[in-house]
Structure 1
Amino acid sequence: MTEQSAAASGDAQAARPLRIAIVGAGPAGIYAADALMKSDADVSIDLYERMPAPFGLIRYGVAPDHPRIKGIITALHKVLDKEQVRLLGNIDYGTDITLDDLRRFYDAVIFSTGANADRALDIPGIDLDGSFGAADFVSWYDGHPDVPRTWPLDAEKVAVLGVGNVALDVARVLAKTGDELLPTEIPPNVYEGLKSNKALEVHVFGRRGPAQAKFTPLELRELDHSPTIEVIVAPEDIDYDEGSEAARRHSKQVDMVANTLEQWAIRDQGNRPHKLFLHFFESPAEIVGDADGKVIGLRTERTELDGTGNVKGTGVIKDWDIQAVYRAVGYLSQNITNLPFDDQAGTVPNEAGRVLADEDADGKARFMPATYVTGWIKRGPVGLIGHTKGDANETVACLLADADAFVSAPEPELDAVTAFLEAKGVPFTTWQGWYRLDAHERALGEPEGRERVKVVEREDMLRASEPHKV
């Protein structure tokens, strides 16, 4: 672009708000919108969401018995209530609207699509019948409209591989009774499934020790609050080396987790009906199947600390009587159409949120024009929900620093994009539609004394939301 055309573009933008599209209306996208509105810039923001309802991970990735975390929605609500931001839901980027389309209507685009797939675990037997990804199970019990309505819960002994908060959520939901979870927002199909759950033992496996577990202290302690779950830790699994002790000294959270596990290891075992075992120093080596391809066991190798907080194998193999295995070894983002993608890291290559296109002959980075990322698609699925605020602030700072060089959108008017969607027959939902769906879900819960009952079917969500076009 020439200096003259850049100046003309800048003059056109100066006469109106900067038009920005954010693809993904979960916490990362909403925090980006908030950061934009808190800046000195005059902005007009459209938040795009694939689901008919906003909030992403909060609605479809957090266990239903975590009202404390779901309380974050209150803060996100305040952002979406602002007049500078507009929600456009039930729109699938790449199908209903493309990057080229977005460039017609917006000066810049931020992608905040998160991570909703399971990271692979390369061990024999991972594809057996009865081997599941934690993300799929979470989507089921959170009433995601795009997953099956039933879940096989006929295993009496279940393994969960991983020692992060998602592993704890999966283990806790598997160990609780359906009636314990009924007061939450779970939909009827999930309640019926959990009510028939046959699991009596849930075994959580970590290949390293207590000081290397990724649980948060509060999440860990919540395991012990259920009157039906007996949490059991073997005394021989409480072990630390110099690296582990250093981790405890430098992190209050690590020390609190270790202290809780130590207390559970020395207490007398109670008589609660469901047993939840936390195993450390057991590295999953193979999922064992029968002749019909069904899971009948888990094989692990005992590990030991090497002095640095890492572990090495001992060669000691143990077979566990298990009929279902859930891997909770991390989430993975999915490729975004028309953007570069690092398959190994599961992220869009970027520098401080600016999307990298390639390098010039001198090895200097070249960036995609006016294209940015934030949240897990930017840095990978690590950290808690609140950590995405820092991502958003960094990305937005880069966007605003670049704004003078943006090519002005040819059709920046607010109704241009909605007319485009209407012409394509896309039944998009709005923020006002969310209020209608929210009221509908609360009304469903009221006769049972529940805060809400989540609507699962996409068509039912659309009907309650009264989208612009159905």
Structure 2
Amino acid sequence: VRHSVRTCLLFPLLSAPSAGCVGVCGRAPFSSCSPKVCIVGAGPAGFYTAQHLIKSRQDVEVDIYERLPVPFGLVRFGVAPDHPEVKNVINTFTQTAQHSRCSFYGNVNVGTDVSVKELQQAYHAVVLSYGAEGNRRMGVPGEDLAGVHAAKDFVGWYNGLPDNRKLHPDLSCETAVILGQGNVALDVARILLSPMDMLKKTDITQPALDLLAESRIRRVLIVGRRGPMQIACTIKEVREMVNLPDTRPEMVAADFKGIAEAVKEVPRPRKRLTELLLKTALDVPTEKEQEKRSKASRVWGFRFFRSPVEVLPAPDLSRAAAIRLAVNRLEGSGEGASAVPTGEVEDVPCGLVISSIGYKSLPIDPLLPFDSRKAIVPNTMGRVQKTAGVYCSGWLKTGPTGVIGTTMNNSFDTARALLEDMDSGALDVSSAKPGSQGVTPLLEKRGVKPVEFSDWEKIDNEEIKRGVAMGKPREKLLSVDEMLHVART
């Protein structure tokens, strides 16, 4: 039989690695003769890319590098604590991480601890999947005042992201304004208004729970620049707001003028969502709903056709006291309608402003192409432009859009492109590459000790143990130092 890379795979059990599956590459199976792919980022995009590569080609080896000591990215740090079912995908990611041809290296900051160029030298292909770690700014005066937070940071705070553990938002005001009407905005609104009995059974961090228990916020307004027909959230999230205990909706009837007629012509998902908004805003509530609303101590509501102009400070100029909103009208219709200022403004008193207008990716290597306007790596079907052997998946590829299912398909597409390039010869995998064996000495020299998946499992077990003691599914470790201490004990 002509011995080749493929033969190493087809008969992996005929000899142990030490006996040497020696052929044209002269190396043991699943070692230097295997195509080696490095993935930067251990969130959903990274794991889905790895999963598809491993399942689709029986010789490929995948190493996943992650800045934090813990995996799973936004599934761990972005999904709302009261949505545990969404986190079940971690089980699939764990199976991928435990596969014999997959390795996890946490606590490695690509771009600082090791460069992308060094990874290119060690691997046949590098896939950038590190997501969107930056915040889109509003670009208005006053956005740096105390009391103004990016939704990403606020979510990271209550979900235990080490970068945000010292946020300590001031919840002593009565009214909070959230700018943006996507699912993240509604997650934040729900967390601010949820009864403690609901939250304390989740994996929300204890410091966040303690602060929310003392919160004086009784009114949350969720503001969008366009109308009810363009709202960006899903019907599930709106329904959760409608059903939230001890709350009542507060809408502006004028915002829904003409919507009942317009909704007849739109696709079914948009129609159902808009009908729920109409019913919540305009219908006479049932007797049961009226009773719930009359007893409610907290209020929430959408405000449409509004854009931020300025965050207004308190008299001592130290913190936010109100937000000035431009009143808009729509030009066009449907998804493509654009908001145009009318010249009117209105001021809304509030002590907490949360900007939920989007995450954005950041460049990690000056030698890689990066579109700063779109905040993505320029690519064609995941192939990074003008950079052979480098690919991207997830939000770095498309921008921060969609849900976990969207990211899955996006990542599978990138994996397919990479595999096509292997098969066509566009990506040369004929020469041996050292993979992690080429990177580990560099990290050691720089004083970086990676966290392996078995180390993460120690952290996982400790968090679950602490959670059980508190009647919660887990209590997250909040600092990198503490994570590393547990991982190495």
Name the TM-score, length of structure 2 as normaliser. Answer: 0.85
Distance 2:213 2:81 in 1: 15
Q: Could you say if the C-alpha distance between residues 391 and 44 of structure 1 is closer, same or farther in structure 2, counting changes exceeding 3 Å?
A: same
CA drift at 1:194: 1.5
Structure 1: which amino acid aligns with 2:413?
E
Distance 1:290 1:409 in 2: 65
Distance 1:152 1:131 in 2: 10
8 Å CA contact 2:33, 2:432 repeated in 1: no
Alignment deviations for residues 167-206 of structure 1 (CA, whole Å, 9 cap, x no partner): 1111111222444311111222222222222211111111
Which residue of the other structure, out of 135, 140, 154, is the alignment partner of 2:157? 140
8 Å CA contact 2:114, 2:442 repeated in 1: no
8 Å CA contact 2:77, 2:155 repeated in 1: yes
Alignment deviations for residues 24-70 of structure 1 (CA, whole Å, 9 cap, x no partner): 01000000001101213510000011111100011111111111211
Partner of 1:231: 249
| 2:327 is the counterpart of 1:302 | yes
Q: Could you say if the C-alpha distance between residues 407 and 34 of structure 1 is closer, same or farther in structure 2, counting changes exceeding 3 Å?
A: closer
Alignment deviations for residues 301-322 of structure 1 (CA, whole Å, 9 cap, x no partner): 3333445232433333222111
Q: Could you say if the C-alpha distance between residues 457 and 377 of structure 1 is closer, same or farther in structure 2, counting changes exceeding 3 Å?
A: same
Partner of 1:288: 312
Which residue of the other structure, out of 373, 379, 386, is the alignment partner of 1:350? 379
8 Å CA contact 1:298, 1:319 repeated in 2: yes
CA drift at 1:241: 6.0
Which residue of the other structure, out of 413, 417, 420, is the alignment partner of 2:439? 417
SS in structure 2 of the partner of residue 233 of structure 1: coil
Which residue of the other structure, out of 148, 170, 188, is the alignment partner of 1:152? 170
CA drift at 1:431: 1.2
Which residue of the other structure, out of 343, 347, 350, is the alignment partner of 1:322? 350
Distance 1:282 1:244 in 2: 20
Partner of 1:273: 297
Deviates more, 1:212-221 or 1:36-45: 36-45
8 Å CA contact 1:178, 1:192 repeated in 2: no
Distance 1:241 1:460 in 2: 53
CA drift at 1:94: 1.1
Distance 1:243 1:283 in 2: 25
Q: Could you say if the C-alpha distance between residues 465 and 93 of structure 1 is closer, same or farther in structure 2, counting changes exceeding 3 Å?
A: same
Distance 1:148 1:202 in 2: 23
CA drift at 1:406: 2.5
Distance 1:89 1:130 in 2: 33
Which residue of the other structure, out of 386, 389, 404, is the alignment partner of 2:405? 386
8 Å CA contact 1:210, 1:239 repeated in 2: no
CA drift at 1:449: 2.5
Q: Could you say if the C-alpha distance between residues 240 and 43 of structure 1 is closer, same or farther in structure 2, counting changes exceeding 3 Å?
A: farther
Alignment deviations for residues 308-356 of structure 1 (CA, whole Å, 9 cap, x no partner): 2324333332221112211101111111213111111000111111111
8 Å CA contact 1:163, 1:214 repeated in 2: yes
Distance 1:297 1:307 in 2: 31
Partner of 1:451: 473
Structure 2: which amino acid aligns with 1:400?
L
Partner of 2:387: 368
Partner of 2:39: 22
Partner of 2:120: 103
Alignment deviations for residues 82-119 of structure 1 (CA, whole Å, 9 cap, x no partner): 11111100111111111122123211100001012221
Partner of 1:122: 139
Across the aligned residues of Structure 1 and Structure 2, the Cα RMSD in angstroms comes to 2.4
Gaps of 5+ in 1: 1-9, 357-366
CA drift at 1:141: 0.8
Count of matched residue positions in the alignment of Structure 1 and Structure 2: 446
CA drift at 1:393: 2.2
Q: How does 1:175-194 map to 2 (within 5 A)?
A: 175-194=193-212
Partner of 1:264: 280
Which residue of the other structure, out of 227, 231, 235, is the alignment partner of 1:217? 235
Partner of 2:12: none
Distance 1:296 1:74 in 2: 44
SS in structure 2 of the partner of residue 369 of structure 1: coil
Alignment deviations for residues 230-263 of structure 1 (CA, whole Å, 9 cap, x no partner): 23223222234699537x622x221121111112
| 2:108 is the counterpart of 1:91 | yes
| 2:255 is the counterpart of 1:245 | no
Alignment deviations for residues 400-430 of structure 1 (CA, whole Å, 9 cap, x no partner): 2323342767651554433443343212111
Distance 1:212 1:320 in 2: 23
Structure 2: which amino acid aligns with 1:377?
L
Which residue of the other structure, out of 28, 46, 52, is the alignment partner of 2:69? 52
Which residue of the other structure, out of 411, 414, 417, is the alignment partner of 1:395? 414
SS in structure 1 of the partner of residue 250 of structure 2: strand
| 2:60 is the counterpart of 1:43 | yes
* Aligned-pair identity (%): 35
Structure 1: which amino acid aligns with 2:392?
V
Alignment deviations for residues 273-304 of structure 1 (CA, whole Å, 9 cap, x no partner): 11112111223222222343221112223333
SS in structure 2 of the partner of residue 191 of structure 1: helix
SS in structure 1 of the partner of residue 65 of structure 2: strand
Structure 2: which amino acid aligns with 1:343?
S
Distance 2:169 2:105 in 1: 31
Q: Could you say if the C-alpha distance between residues 27 and 409 of structure 1 is closer, same or farther in structure 2, counting changes exceeding 3 Å?
A: farther
Partner of 1:198: 216
SS in structure 1 of the partner of residue 153 of structure 2: helix
CA drift at 1:394: 2.1
8 Å CA contact 1:442, 1:451 repeated in 2: yes
CA drift at 1:19: 0.6
Distance 1:459 1:99 in 2: 26
Alignment deviations for residues 371-404 of structure 1 (CA, whole Å, 9 cap, x no partner): 0101100110011111112222222222223233
Deviates more, 1:291-300 or 1:235-244: 235-244
Name the TM-score, length of structure 1 as normaliser. Answer: 0.89
Structure 2: which amino acid aligns with 1:259?
E
8 Å CA contact 2:360, 2:375 repeated in 1: yes
Distance 1:100 1:242 in 2: 56
Deviates more, 1:151-160 or 1:46-55: 151-160
